[in-house]
Chains A and B, each alone.
Chain A
Amino acid sequence: MAAKADRSGKPRGNLPPLELYVPEPKFRPGDAVDYSDLVIPPAGLQPRPDEGCAPAETHPLCLDLVRVLDDDNRAVGPWDPKLDAETLRRMLRVMALTRAFDDRMYRAQRQGKTSFYMKCTGEEAVSVSAAFALASDDMVFPSYRQQGILIARGYPLVEMVNQIYSNRADRMKGRQLPVMYSARDFGFFTISGNLATQYPQAVGWAMASAIKGDTRIAASWIGEGSSAEGDFHAALTFAAVYNAPVVLNVVNNQWAISSFSGFAGAERTTFAARAIGYGVAGLRVDGNDALAVYAAVRWAADRARANKGPTLIEHFTYRAEGHSTSDDPAAYRSAQERDEWPLGDPIMRLKRHLIAIGEWSVERHEAMDREVAEQVKAASKEAEKSGILGHGLHHPFKTMFEDVFEELPWHLEEQAEQAIRERRIKWPDWKE
């Protein structure tokens, strides 16, 4: 029998000691930002394989960046979806509306009308263009930053504000944190606060659609930070095994609260490239290029609908604002990043494109901005009639106990009685 090994961790000749590598973002608060070593390939050069291609054929695209809008604001190359001007203007309007909505709700939180809010500033294309590329009856499983999908699908703004204010008219009955919408009639799955759970669920919905011989597909979105969760990897494995008709989007907005994308593995390879190891098609796309996002999601949707399998799409973008109203990004990243971001702003880029092709003008854009701001204002005024958070106009107390189960068991009946008794003592003027 061999002698027992020495397990004290002795030096090994000339080998240096092991070292732990801990990623560090390039820029911290106060740093000058220089993105010159970020590889941004010119628009139009990326090949567009057939939607039915083998997953491995997409490997080069996982390391590239699908781009359509060039530096002269023209749509170029094989990924140009060739959308008509009317569709482009609608897309632009929904993105502008989404941004106006975010701005107003952010201020509403600051004014104490609700507890919390999350903007998607700079990432509007990732949800809005994708919603345009999917069929309106396809099922989406979003994270908390895809309000653009709901708006694109025509969900009433006033319902969104009701949810954010947790008021009496809130369809979620004041139960959920603001922005955690649910809209079954709009093919929009209830948003979870627990990261990444939606990913395998989208795959499951897609599998169900396949089991039933349906024609609808599923799509999901996840932040790059959340792609570290096990759910992400379970989703990709299931999607690959069952060739599920699903479009899996990773929104790489560079930051996960204070952690940069390196903490999800971005320094080693792209998020799109993960697809290849699972045998899933992958695309990496300029997430601030509304046309490229549309083209990529459309490619993946057509592929899924033709029974050719799932696609993982990395949308390369930038979180222009804080993580949420609870966060001040000045504490961990350079304020210059936003201004220097080489892929610009998705709304500005689509606007310039429409102007370049003679289908839009600065005046029309300004008029549109005023209109969407008015639209949001009207919706929030309307919602305020049903109350704001903490000002009494809540749902009846009994609703707190409903929907835990289909029927109220005896112990919840008892607890509901207790709650109502307490209410009479605590808030004698309350009217149900």
Chain B
Amino acid sequence: MAGLEGVMTQEEAPVSLAEAPTRRLNMIEAINDALDIMLERDANTVIMGEDVGFFGGVFRATAGLQKRYGKNRVFDTPISECGIIGAAVGMAAYGLRPVPEIQFADYIYPGLDQLVSEAARLRYRSAGEFIAPITVRAPFGGGIFGGQTHSQSPEALFTHVAGLKTVVPSTPHDAKGLLIAAIEDNDPVIFFEPKRIYNGPFDGYYDRPATPWSRHDGSVVPEGYYSIPLGKARIVREGAAMTVLAYGTMIHVAEAVLREKGVDAEIIDLRTLVPIDVETVEKSVEKTGKCLVIHEATRTSGYGAELVALVQERCFYHLEAPVERVTGFDTPYPHSLEWAYFPGPVRIGEAVDRLLAAG
């Protein structure tokens, strides 16, 4: 099965996970499973956030966990993102491994100082005396008519900060393995969950019936513990015509567009934005000579700008065409014009055509 490269189980590694018993889960269930396993394995893991306790979170990602592990391990917090992240830093200083949930990525800003000035730099400024092994989970991205405060993709604000790792899964399988790795990582990790694909792999055609995860290979999730190392991309599909660099929801949109167009593209799911798996990117672009970068976030100073810079620095003499960049527009996320804003099949298709025509 695709996506199992680099997967290790802890005790019996390296193991062929293909042989582990599996279940079909949607992304919420996979995240819940990862949290459950980490609460079970490591008594220092604690989960906190607005509505995560008794209720189990507004997206149900922590459902049942307070009941299983008690209120010392899984608890509600006051509505203060500054307090949530600040308290997590303090807990980490004690030696815990907090996994705070921010209800929507759009609401992470009151906690920015604690993340940017504190969590990200604790290790550096104390020369390793204090660390912040915190995993901040937050649903992000649009496509649910959430308007400008339930739709944002602010990943570039975090990839710009020295000392933060940023992870975005695109399947239930990856969500589980990456979240476990993030929690075990000794540095602060921002774990953005594309909420549009919590229940199914959205292909960008909002007017077609939604597909559930159960019909997608990425929903086959091994039982028990496994982790997917941070900093390792996944080749979703091999190809020779061009390299597509994306993550999260846009993986599925890109896949659908390229399938429909019958283009033999190589799609790379970056999975971790910092540190990025630059080797996989380089190898692919050297092979294909063309590169398309896709994200839902706004364009200017977006993470795509970093990708384009890396590709031209490292693969310039292999490029047969300028690198293409498909993104959201540089506006707040609109409500009624959501589908005009979203970088969907038409915008991606035009970029693919330009690349095919070039060189």
A: which residues have CB within 8 A of B? 20, 22-24, 28, 115-116, 166-167, 170, 174-178, 180, 192-196, 225-226, 228-231, 256-259, 263-265, 326-327, 331-332, 389-390, 394-395, 397, 400-401, 404, 411-412, 415, 418-419, 422-423, 425-426
Bound CA–CA A167/B177 (angstroms): 43
Q: Nearest-CB distance from A110 to chain B (Å)? A: 15
Bound CA–CA A315/B258 (angstroms): 57
Q: Are A264 and B78 in contact (CB under 8 A)?
A: yes
In this assembly, does B216 line the interface, its C-beta being within 8 Å of a C-beta of chain A?
A: no
Residues from chain B with a CB closer than 8 A to the CB of A177 are 146-150, 335
Bound CA–CA A289/B130 (angstroms): 53
Q: Are B77 and A263 in contact (CB under 8 A)?
A: yes
Q: Tell which of B51, B76, B79, B109 touches A22, judged by Cβ atoms closer than 8 Å.
A: B76
Q: Nearest-CB distance from A410 to chain B (Å)? A: 11
In this assembly, does B174 line the interface, its C-beta being within 8 Å of a C-beta of chain A?
A: no
Q: Tell which of B110, B334, B339 touches A174, judged by Cβ atoms closer than 8 Å.
A: B334
Residues from chain B with a CB closer than 8 A to the CB of A258 are 51, 54-55, 76
Q: Are A422 and B340 in contact (CB under 8 A)?
A: yes
Bound CA–CA A156/B122 (angstroms): 53
Q: Are B346 and A404 in contact (CB under 8 A)?
A: no
Residues from chain B with a CB closer than 8 A to the CB of A401 are 329, 331
> 9 smallest A-B Cβ distances: which pairs?
A193-B149, A174-B336, A177-B147, A228-B78, A258-B55, A166-B336, A115-B145, A22-B71, A228-B80
Q: Mark B231-267, 1 if CB is under 8 A from A, else 0.
A: 0000000000000000000000000000000000000
Q: Which among A22, A180, A412 has the greatest number of chain B C-beta atoms within 10 A?
A: A22
Knowing A116-B145, A174-B336, A259-B51, say if A412 contacts B79 (CB, 8 Å).
Answer: no
Residues from chain A with a CB closer than 8 A to the CB of B51 are 257-259
Bound CA–CA A264/B77 (angstroms): 8
Bound CA–CA A398/B330 (angstroms): 13
Q: Tell which of B106, B109, B340, B346 touches A397, judged by Cβ atoms closer than 8 Å.
A: B340
In this assembly, does B337 line the interface, its C-beta being within 8 Å of a C-beta of chain A?
A: yes
Q: Tell which of A20, A176, A326 touches B72, judged by Cβ atoms closer than 8 Å.
A: A20
B: which residues have CB within 8 A of A? 50-51, 53-55, 58, 71-72, 75-83, 106-107, 109-110, 145-150, 299-300, 329-332, 334-337, 339-341, 344, 346-347
Q: Are A180 and B147 in contact (CB under 8 A)?
A: yes
Q: Tell which of B75, B76, B145 touches A389, judged by Cβ atoms closer than 8 Å.
A: B145
Knowing A263-B78, A401-B331, A412-B331, say if A175 contacts B145 (CB, 8 Å).
Answer: no
Given contacts A194-B106, A264-B78, 14 further A-B pairs with CB under 8 A are A167-B336, A175-B332, A177-B335, A178-B335, A193-B148, A225-B78, A231-B110, A258-B51, A258-B76, A259-B79, A263-B78, A411-B330, A412-B330, A425-B346
Nearest residue (CB) in A for B149 is A193
Q: Are A22 and B337 in contact (CB under 8 A)?
A: no
14 residue pairs A–B, Cβ–Cβ below 8 Å: A20-B72, A22-B71, A115-B147, A170-B336, A175-B148, A177-B147, A193-B150, A229-B81, A257-B58, A394-B337, A400-B331, A412-B330, A412-B331, A419-B341
Residues from chain A with a CB closer than 8 A to the CB of B80 are 228-230
Q: Are A28 and B347 in contact (CB under 8 A)?
A: no
Knowing A263-B77, A332-B55, say if A426 contacts B330 (CB, 8 Å).
Answer: no
Q: Are B110 and A230 in contact (CB under 8 A)?
A: yes
Residues from chain A with a CB closer than 8 A to the CB of B339 are 426
Bound CA–CA A404/B330 (angstroms): 8
Q: Are B58 and A418 in contact (CB under 8 A)?
A: no
Q: Tell which of A24, A229, A415 touches B110, judged by Cβ atoms closer than 8 Å.
A: A229
Residues from chain A with a CB closer than 8 A to the CB of B335 are 115, 166, 174-178, 389
Q: Nearest-CB distance from A421 to chain B (Å)? A: 8
Q: Are A192 and B336 in contact (CB under 8 A)?
A: no
Q: Tell which of B53, B78, B107, B341 touches A400, judged by Cβ atoms closer than 8 Å.
A: B341
Residues from chain A with a CB closer than 8 A to the CB of B299 are 411, 415
Residues from chain B with a CB closer than 8 A to the CB of A394 are 336-337
Residues from chain B with a CB closer than 8 A to the CB of A176 are 147-148, 335
Nearest residue (CB) in A for B57 is A258
Residues from chain A with a CB closer than 8 A to the CB of B330 are 404, 411-412, 415
Residues from chain A with a CB closer than 8 A to the CB of B110 are 194, 229-231
Q: Are B337 and A400 in contact (CB under 8 A)?
A: yes
Bound CA–CA A390/B336 (angstroms): 7
Nearest residue (CB) in A for B109 is A194
Q: Nearest-CB distance from B357 to chain A (Å)? A: 17
Bound CA–CA A231/B340 (angstroms): 34
Q: Nearest-CB distance from B348 to chain A (Å)? A: 11
Bound CA–CA A177/B145 (angstroms): 8
Q: Are B79 and A395 in contact (CB under 8 A)?
A: no
Q: Are B79 and A229 in contact (CB under 8 A)?
A: yes
Q: Are A404 and B331 in contact (CB under 8 A)?
A: yes
Bound CA–CA A400/B328 (angstroms): 12
Q: Nearest-CB distance from B74 to chain A (Å)? A: 9
Q: Are A22 and B146 in contact (CB under 8 A)?
A: no
Nearest residue (CB) in B for A20 is B72
Bound CA–CA A394/B336 (angstroms): 7
Q: Nearest-CB distance from A277 to chain B (Å)? A: 17
Q: Are B107 and A225 in contact (CB under 8 A)?
A: no
Q: Are A331 and B55 in contact (CB under 8 A)?
A: yes
Bound CA–CA A7/B50 (angstroms): 32
Residues from chain B with a CB closer than 8 A to the CB of A425 are 346
Knowing A174-B336, A228-B79, say if A194 contacts B149 (CB, 8 Å).
Answer: yes
Knowing A180-B147, A230-B82, say if A423 contacts B340 (CB, 8 Å).
Answer: yes
Bound CA–CA A150/B55 (angstroms): 33
Bound CA–CA A74/B299 (angstroms): 62
Bound CA–CA A389/B77 (angstroms): 35
Bound CA–CA A195/B79 (angstroms): 9
Residues from chain A with a CB closer than 8 A to the CB of B340 are 397, 400, 419, 422-423, 426
Q: Nearest-CB distance from B162 to chain A (Å)? A: 25
Bound CA–CA A389/B336 (angstroms): 6
Residues from chain B with a CB closer than 8 A to the CB of A170 are 336
Q: Tell which of A22, A167, A194, A331 touches B107, judged by Cβ atoms closer than 8 Å.
A: A194
Residues from chain B with a CB closer than 8 A to the CB of A196 are 79
